[in-house]
Structure 1
Amino acid sequence: MCNDILKLLKIKDENIQVLKVEEDVEVRGQLSTVVYGTLSYTPKACMKCGCVNDGQIHKHGKRVSRLTLLKSQESNVYLNLAKERFKCLHCLKTFTAQTNIVDSNCFITNLVKLAIQDKLTRVQSEIDIANDCSVSPSTVKRCIHHISQSLIVKPSSGLPKHLSIDEFKSVKNVTTAMSFLFINNETNQIIDILEDRRIHKLKEYFYRFDRRERLAVKTVTADMYEPYINFIHEVFPNAILIFDRFHIVQHLNRELNKQRISIMNTCRYKSSTDYTKMKKHWKLFLSDRQDINSYEYFWSKSFKTYTTSRDILEYLLNLDQQLYDTYMLVHHLREALKQCDWLRFKETLMSVEKKHVSRGVWRVIRFYKKYEYILYSTIKHPKLNNGAIEGINNKIKLIKRVSYGYRNFNNFKARILIIFKLYQRRKKDSLLINNAA
């Protein structure tokens, strides 16, 4: 039979000869394509004793192995390979012919393993990968653990100069339900994932690294989780702590929205029309002031007239003076942060009076005043943020959802590392971070 079939099956071993091909053969309860072939050659030496073949190695029957190949035309394909057996008259031991398409004592070809490895880097459930490659889920799990061993970080590998840290919702058997993640803030590549985010566990992990490595860390970007602040100063003495800008704006917006809801509820029984207007146009309170339209008129059902977005906002703000003051304060801080204007940000922060803003906003302002030096570093380093790590967290949620959840943290961690670290993209342009030292 023409051995061009070997090319279609991507088998490059010249010692394999195809005998026949049978279709619609039932294998493991499924109709499959079975290729029958032989593997035979003249060995140069005995695989047991190492003696050179001087005519004392004879053929000694055949052993048939059913090897799993890649699917073809959505049909499972197997190779029934009759391997030649040899007997060495020097040591009186037998051995089987070897081929490069499959490892010794294995029945899954190397191409199938490579396909499994490639599919593991995509957001796809392990059962789907097993079905696509004609293997069992246990085989996929073994591949995951085998690959992930090479991705585990060792203390000798060191730490990058710019770190970004965050936590994410982990599996149920984790003590605090949250796990810790940190990445290289220059290359956006995951460094490692820790099961527990508690401070004593983090210290135990990072103290494994040499002190010189920890002193070389220049910046650490984190959210505004207060226990991280003292931890970072202790573990990385020379590092500049930077708050993520998104969380700064998020805290301000959350408290402004709470104040709007409070005023809206007070209008519920006094003036139902104002209640409806404030509920319907809530987005105007959180939109940037320069994005609010002041010249395009449209018909408003709640106002029953033609009006603009800016007119609606001014009307709603005039319903309560404290709401107006809170709105102006939040947007002044947001604009100063966006423009990286530290003097304006500080002046606005120091000019706030407790009686003029809501209780929630005042609590945020006190927090900002307490950690004023961190906010200064945040504004002076606008290129450093947690945008990349937040995107990673979003993909981690997708991995968990597609896989219908994980029960074991080690399995979950191994899959995350494979997806994000196995095929690391080369960095095209180096990220220039000015004044990060």
Structure 2
Amino acid sequence: MLHNGTKVVNNVHLSSAGKKLVLSIRKQKYLCPECKKTATAKFKDTNYHDHFSNAVKAKLVRDLSLSRPMCEIAADSFTSSNTIIRSLESVENNFKVNRNWLPSHLSLDDFKSGKRFSSSGMSMCLINAVNHRIIDIIPERNNKFLRNYFIQYSYKARLSVMTITVDLYAPYRSLIKELFPNAFIIADKFHVVTQAYTAMNKIRIRVMKEYGTGTHEYRALKRFWKLLLKNQDDVDYHRYYPRINFKYAELSDSEVLDRLFDMSSELKTSYEYYQLLLQMYRKNSRQLLNLLTDTSSWNLPPEMRQALKTIKKHRTEIENSFVLPRLTNGPIEGVNNHIKVIKRIAYGYNNFKHFRLRILLSLKNNVIFFST
């Protein structure tokens, strides 16, 4: 190879003291005396035909794993938004789904992604229910899309799934039974308890309205709404405080509850039913579940009867949760909250692929090493 002059190239490196750092490098050019082709010397830290060092690109990907908007990352690194997007797409291969494997315990939950990606505006998160690692983010939650998605997994992988923890959304049930023959469905305890929790609030508000604004009962029920929803084991029976709604009488929490129940027998019955539901999950008791579903033992108001109907409908799935009480949708709800933050700081996404990659990067689903 013969020397054939030089070529000056500009390479962007990590900023220094908050200022852009550009290295002007004079590269040696070479000429092949036989084929007359030319070549240019390579620079160790920069790929061929690239003006950004590998250290800059590695830092961009690390910044994308933080809850920061792309425009802010671009401004701090003295690059453009398009460069940030290319850096995001460069890690796509790290998040390829293994279609020949699924964990023994799955957890599914939906989150609001917007009408741009889904006809219903809801997408789905799929995680390992044991170690809480994300398996994938699915753009649609309707049965047709989910069937086409899960059918891509091998039959052996789907057979290996033993439990699937889901909320109370009915369409999931038929799909799970069809695609995961060995899987038991676990109804997430949070969503079951929420049915009774919401009913308690509705009953309290209805009783308040029956008494009318400005009455003593209205103010007391409004002030102590949290106490009505509190776990009975956490109610204080021993410490007394002056209560403004009861003429500053020194009352414990349990005595306040007794006075609230004197205002409405429906409220008292609903409270007992709600507390029994909490106790059932605390003890994983089938006996208490039988008592909850025994309609002859309860004279419930309409709001709480809806919760009873839900419990009876998902009775088998609730019993399954007693066998493996640690499997809940709590971790996936935390993931969904983080997804909302990612979406909010970006003011939404137009491209689902970018949205998915940003979620997986941010939640450290895969371990990615960068050589800098």
Q: Tell me if both proteins adopt one fold, taking TM over 0.5 as the criterion.
A: yes
- Following TM superposition, by how much is the alpha carbon of 1:349 offset from its aligned partner in structure 2, in angstroms? 2.3
Corresponding residue of 1:69:
13
Corresponding residue of 1:335:
279
Q: How far apart, CA to CA, are the structure 1 residues paired with 2:47 and 2:296?
A: 71
May I ask how many residue pairs the two structures share in their alignment?
A: 366
CA contact (8 A) 1:215 1:236 kept: yes
Listed one character per residue, the Cα deviations across residues 223-248 of structure 1 (whole Å, up to 9, x for unaligned) are 11111122211111110110111111
After TM superposition, list the pairs within 5 Å mapping 1:14-413 onto structure 2: 57-156=1-100, 158-173=101-116, 174-268=118-212, 272-304=215-247, 305-351=249-295, 356-413=299-356
Local SS of the residue matching 2:209: helix
Local SS of the residue matching 1:318: helix
Letter in 1 for 2:359: I
Q: How far apart, CA to CA, are the structure 1 residues paired with 2:119 and 2:261?
A: 45
Q: How far apart, CA to CA, are the structure 2 residues paired with 1:308 and 1:190?
A: 45
Unaligned runs of 5+ in 2: none
Q: How far apart, CA to CA, are the structure 2 residues paired with 1:424 and 1:246?
A: 31
Give the % identical residues: 30
Listed one character per residue, the Cα deviations across residues 349-374 of structure 1 (whole Å, up to 9, x for unaligned) are 225556x2121211221221122111
Local SS of the residue matching 1:405: coil
CA contact (8 A) 1:151 1:421 kept: no
- Following TM superposition, by how much is the alpha carbon of 1:410 offset from its aligned partner in structure 2, in angstroms? 2.2
Q: How far apart, CA to CA, are the structure 1 residues paired with 2:136 and 2:182?
A: 21
- Following TM superposition, by how much is the alpha carbon of 1:162 offset from its aligned partner in structure 2, in angstroms? 0.8
Letter in 2 for 1:253: Y
Q: How far apart, CA to CA, are the structure 2 residues paired with 1:199 and 1:190?
A: 21
CA contact (8 A) 2:187 2:321 kept: yes
Letter in 1 for 2:178: E
Listed one character per residue, the Cα deviations across residues 319-350 of structure 1 (whole Å, up to 9, x for unaligned) are 11121111101111111111212212222322
The structure with more helix, counted as a fraction of residues: 2
Letter in 2 for 1:414: L
Q: How far apart, CA to CA, are the structure 2 residues paired with 1:216 and 1:205?
A: 17
- Following TM superposition, by how much is the alpha carbon of 1:266 offset from its aligned partner in structure 2, in angstroms? 0.4
Letter in 1 for 2:124: F
Q: How far apart, CA to CA, are the structure 1 residues paired with 2:40 and 2:137?
A: 44
Local SS of the residue matching 2:237: coil
TM-score (norm 2): 0.94
Local SS of the residue matching 2:15: coil
CA contact (8 A) 2:192 2:311 kept: no
Q: CA RMSD in A?
A: 1.6
Letter in 1 for 2:42: Q
TM-score (norm 1): 0.81
- Following TM superposition, by how much is the alpha carbon of 1:154 offset from its aligned partner in structure 2, in angstroms? 4.2
Q: How far apart, CA to CA, are the structure 1 residues paired with 2:366 and 2:11?
A: 28
